[in-house]
C-alpha cells in the first residue's frame, strides 16, 4: 500500500503516530511516507491510504473532503481525548473548545473509513462518533533494548520529562523531588527534560540539586537525555483526559530499563504491577517513600528496571507494525437506516 501519515506536529505526537509507524510499515513491504505538510501534488502521489492526525481546522478539513471524493481511503488518528481537555492546559483547552474546531473534528471522524487511537479508554470515547475504531499502541525501535545500563552510578539522576502542556502535572511530585535532591548532597540530581529553569522554579522546584534541560526538539536527543535517568517519575492527576492517554512514559522508561514511579491512574495502572515492574502512587507522601527506596537500593533499581525492560519487547515497532497494517485495511462498518 502507498500510505501517507499526515502528522499534526513535529513533536512526540507526530513521531509516535506518524514517523515511527511509517518506518515500521516500510519494513514489511509497504510504501509509506510521513510529514506535517501534505504534498502539494497529493493527487499524483497515488496514495491508497492517508492517515490524518487530528484533522479539524478548516483548510485541512476541506482537503480531507477532497481526498474522500478522490477515493482515497481515510484513517483519522487521535492520540489524546480532545473531547475532555482539562482547563489547566489553557492553550489546548481554548483551541478545542472552539465550536468550529470541535465540529470540524467530529465531521472528519464521520468521513473517515476507520478511526485509530492509542488506548482502549480513548477508543471508548471515539466510538460515540464512529463505528470502526481500532487501537494501535505506540512503539519504539528495538535498538533501544540493547543499550547497556549502569544501575549503580556514582551520582544518581532522578528524572521527569514533559512539555509545556503537561507541566501542570508536575506539582503532584514537587515536594518529593525537592527532598530527594537534598537527600544526598552531590549524590542525587533531579533532572527535568522539556521545561526551562524558569518554568521549573514556577512549579516550586529549586535548589542546587535540580536542573532543567529545556525543550529538546530532536527525538533522538530526547531519548538520549532521558536514558540517563536512574529513576523516572511520571505524576498525573486523575482526570478524564489523562485516563485516555497512552502510558508513554512507561514505554520510554521500560525500553531503557529505568524503574518508573507513576501516579495510580488508568493508563499506568494497566501496565504497572506495583513493586514488580514499577511503582504506583496513590497518596502524595508515597512519592518520597518510593524515591528513597530506589535511591537507597541499587539492586531494587536493577530488578524493577530489568523486569520492565524484559516486557518492553512487546512494545517495539517490529511487534506492532502488523497491527497498523490490519487497522489501515479494516473494513468500515456500514450503518443501515
Beta bridge partners of 6: 35, 52
Mean pLDDT of the chain: 93
Average pLDDT over residues 113-120: 97
Q: Do domains 2-139+317-328 and 142-315 have the same CATH topology?
A: yes
Q: Show the CA angle centred on residue 106, arms to residues 104 and 107, nearest 5°.
A: 65
Average pLDDT over residues 235-253: 96
The CA–CA distances, whole Å, from 132 to 22, 25, 217 equal 21, 21, 34
| Class of domain 142-315 as given by CATH | alpha beta
**CB crowding 181-208: b at 16 or more within 10 Å, else e:** bebeeeebbbbbbbbeeebbeebebeee
Average pLDDT over residues 85-114: 94
| pLDDT surpasses 80 at 333 | no
Instruction: Quickly tell me which residue has 470540524 as its cell.
Output: 104
Beta bridge partners of 261: 233, 279
Q: List pLDDT tens digits, range 317-327.
A: 998 999 999 99
Break the chain into its structural domains and give their ranges: 2-139+317-328, 142-315
On whether the CB atoms of residues 61 and 108 are closer than 8 A, the answer is yes
Q: List pLDDT tens digits, range 193-224.
A: 999 999 999 999 987 889 998 888 888 899 99
Q: Pick 330 or 34 by higher pLDDT.
A: 34
Beta bridge partners of 221: none
Label residue 337 by pLDDT band (50, 70, 90): very low
| pLDDT surpasses 70 at 332 | no
Q: Pick 164 or 267 by higher pLDDT.
A: 267
User: Which homologous superfamily is 2-139+317-328 in?
Assistant: Glycogen Phosphorylase B; (3.40.50.2000)
| pLDDT surpasses 70 at 248 | yes
What is the percent of the chain with per-residue pLDDT over 70, rounded to a whole number?
Answer: 98
Distance CA 244, CA 236 (A): 12
Would you mind telling me the total number of residues written for the chain in this entry?
A: 337
On whether the CB atoms of residues 82 and 13 are closer than 8 A, the answer is no
On whether the CB atoms of residues 320 and 141 are closer than 8 A, the answer is no
Instruction: Quickly tell me which residue has 499526515 as its cell.
Output: 6
Average pLDDT over residues 42-67: 96
Label residue 335 by pLDDT band (50, 70, 90): very low
Average pLDDT over residues 288-296: 97
Output the pLDDT for position 331.
82
Rounded to the nearest angstrom, the gap between the alpha carbon of residue 38 and the centroid of all alpha carbons in its chain is 23
Amino acid at each position: 500500500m502507498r500510505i501517507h501519515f499526515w502528522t499534526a506536529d513535529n513533536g512526540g505526537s507526530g513521531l509516535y503516530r506518524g514517523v515511527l509507524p511509517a518506518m515500521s510499515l516500510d519494513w514489511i513491504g509497504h510504501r509509506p511516507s510521513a510529514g506535517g505538510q501534505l504534498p502539494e501534488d497529493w493527487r499524483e502521489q497515488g496514495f491508497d491510504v492517508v492517515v490524518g492526525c487530528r484533522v479539524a481546522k478548516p483548510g485541512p478539513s476541506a482537503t480531507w473532503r477532497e481526498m474522500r471524493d478522490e477515493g482515497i481511503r481515510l484513517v483519522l488518528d487521535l492520540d489524546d481525548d480532545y473531547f475532555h481537555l482539562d482547563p489547566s492546559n489553557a492553550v489546548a483547552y481554548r483551541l478545542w473548545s472552539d465550536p468550529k474546531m470541535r465540529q470540524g473534528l467530529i465531521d472528519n471522524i464521520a468521513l473517515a473509513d476507520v478511526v485509530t487511537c492509542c488506548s482502549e479508554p480513548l477508543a471508548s470515547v471515539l466510538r460515540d462518533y464512529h463505528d470502526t475504531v481500532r487501537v494501535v499502541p505506540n512503539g519504539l525501535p528495538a535498538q533501544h533494548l540493547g543499550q547497556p545500563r549502569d544501575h549503580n552510578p556514582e551520582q544518581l539522576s532522578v528524572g521527569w520529562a514533559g512539555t509545556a502542556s503537561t507541566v501542570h502535572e508536575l506539582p503532584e511530585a514537587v515536594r518529593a523531588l525537592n527532598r530527594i535532591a537534598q537527600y544526598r548532597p552531590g549524590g542525587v540530581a533531579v533532572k527535568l527534560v522539556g521545561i526551562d529553569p524558569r518554568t521549573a522554579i514556577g512549579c516550586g522546584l529549586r535548589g542546587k540539586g535540580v536542573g532543567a534541560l529545556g525543550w529538546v526538539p530532536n527525538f533522538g536527543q530526547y531519548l538520549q537525555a532521558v536514558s540517563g535517568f536512574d529513576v523516572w517519575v511520571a505524576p498525573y492527576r486523575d482526570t478524564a483526559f489523562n485516563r485516555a492517554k497512552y502510558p508513554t512514559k512507561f514505554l520510554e522508561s521500560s525500553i531503557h530499563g529505568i524503574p518508573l514511579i507513576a501516579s495510580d491512574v488508568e493508563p499506568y495502572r494497566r501496565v504497572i504491577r506495583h513493586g514488580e515492574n514499577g511503582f504506583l502512587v496513590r497518596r502524595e507522601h508515597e512519592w518520597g517513600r518510593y524515591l528513597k527506596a530506589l535511591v537507597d537500593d541499587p539492586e531494587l533499581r536493577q530488578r524493577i528496571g530489568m523486569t520492565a525492560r524484559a516486557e518492553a519487547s512487546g512494545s517495539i515497532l517490529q511487534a506492532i507494525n502488523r497491527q497498523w497494517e490490519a487497522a489501515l485495511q479494516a473494513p468500515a462498518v456500514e450503518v443501515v437506516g
